[in-house]
Amino acid sequence: MSACDGRDVVHVCGNVYHGGVVTGDGEVLMMGDNASGQLGTRLRAPQATPVRLEASGESGMPRVAVLACGQQHSVAITAAGGLMSWGAAEFGQLGHGPAAGVGVDLLQPRYITGSREMHFVGVACGMGHTLALTGSGHVFSFGQGTFGALGHGDHTNRDAPARIDALWWERGAPGEGWAAPTQT
């Protein structure tokens, strides 16, 4: 890719019709289909060559460490551990809550409210949902809950990050190891 000439690519992701790379400088370059704004370029035009992202309402796109591509949405973890998302919002998979308007596509990256304080280290996107891992081991999910994909014991869509309590294990006394949370 000539758009990456002279840049070290340190992370890649892809899904059905779009993909992206993260460079060693924390830049994000996206390419492919953009019908729902999943490339984050402010337009819906597809990109046959990689294009650099810029964030909305920010003084430029922050450095990114990790990138994930859903079917028609994308989510990034910044170098500081915040989550940014963009693209299709049909099921709440962007995590911006009801005020953002579920079903309203977001055409450029925007921070998920409250995510900067949580220090995320991992993210994965499905067709219409997102899973994100914090440095303290908490897993959050949001988006389409069909088939129980969000892990909350139901089939409910969620439009903001919700911790999957069934995955949170509590540390016991020294030597006792980990214990599952008690069910009430």
Burial class of residue 45 (count of CB atoms within 10 Å of its CB; 0-12, 13-18, 19+)? exposed
Cα(44)–Cα(64) distance, rounded to whole angstroms?
22
Assess contact for 82 and 65: CB atoms under 8 A.
no
pLDDT of residue 184: 44
Lowest mean pLDDT among 15-19, 51-55, 68-72: 51-55
pLDDT, tens only, 93-127: 999 988 666 678 999 999 999 999 999 999 999 99
| Tens digits of residue pLDDT in 36-69 | 999 999 999 999 999 999 776 556 789 999 999 9
Mean pLDDT lowest among 71-80, 101-110, 123-132: 101-110
* Top-tier CATH class for 2-179: mainly beta
Domain boundaries, the chain: 2-179
Collapsing DSSP states into helix, strand and coil, what is residue 167?
helix
Angle, CA of 143, 139 and 89, to the nearest 5°: 15
Sign of CA dihedral 24, 117, 134, 156: negative
For residues 9-16, average pLDDT = 95
Does residue 175 carry a pLDDT above 70?
Answer: no
